[in-house]
Structure 1
């Protein structure tokens, strides 16, 4: 059985630098946030959606990255953490615009990836979600 985990959300300068170096169409307008305090969300229930709130689409993700600061590279429904019967978690990217990485490896669309304590999930231009035990940031 897996230990209780929390998602600790923060900004990752190295990930941002890597994304900007790819020179995507919006790269020149994306700025790394000068202040982005870490915050934590305990993982619970059957699923934890990662994304940005959208009233028009009726989306209210459990891990809401709407901001501030708002990472413009995060999709409204970017990824989903799914609880497994044994207490562990998997991550699925349902087709985000900018992709998802786990520990630096790209996640294929709709292919579940096991995740655990210490794993780093990168979404958007600079957002990192680190899985940690309990509610400890």
Structure 2
């Protein structure tokens, strides 16, 4: 299933695409970090959730889950489900385009943090981190977003 978010013409040098998927390895890492704690907050892993793709064309792409029933604050990458990743904040992270076809990820002060490429330490909130094609952004309890330049 493709969620093709476009707001302008594709970059002649290529298109950046985010693949959103339920990552069993990341979920296991989250559970291991919470050993001895209540792991129910990590939720049950959704083994039948198909990956979806989002083209990054806008200068800013918000990652989170919808909170306003009227839909006024919908993030461009909505992780509200179903199934809903229980560890994702309303505004969890932001992808921002920089000149020369580069992207950064910024943790937006999320409750559970954002990590990159299975790192243990979360990103510092409100601090841009440069992305390379193939990087994996981890949010919530089991969601991974792989960014690729195609």
With the length of structure 1 as denominator, give the TM-score of the two structures: 0.89
Distance 1:74 1:48 in 2: 15
The residue number in structure 1 matching 2:3 is none
Q: Which residue does the alignment assign to 1:10?
A: 21
Deviations 1:68-92 (A, max 9, x none): 1210001010000011022211110
**Per the alignment, do residues 76 and 26 of structure 1 end up closer, same or farther by CA in structure 2, a change over 3 Å counting?**
farther
Structure 2 residue ranges without an equivalent (≥5): 1-10
Aligned length: 134
Task: Select the structure of larger CA radius of gyration.
Answer: 2
* Larger mean Cα displacement after TM superposition, 42-51 or 18-27: 18-27
Deviation string, structure 1 residues 1-29 (Cα, Å, up to 9, x no partner): 96421110001111111111222765225
Give the ranges of 4+ consecutive aligned residues of structure 1 lying more than 6 Å apart after TM superposition: none
Residue aligning to 2:51: 38
Counterparts of 1:45-84 in structure 2, within 5 Å, are 45-55=58-68, 58-84=72-98
TM-score norm. by structure 2 comes to: 0.81
Q: Measure the CA separation in 2 of the matches of 1:129 and 1:120.
A: 6
- Root-mean-square deviation (CA, aligned residues, Å) is 2.0
Contact 1:93 1:100 in 2 (8 A): yes
In 2, Cα distance between equivalents of 1:23 and 1:113: 26
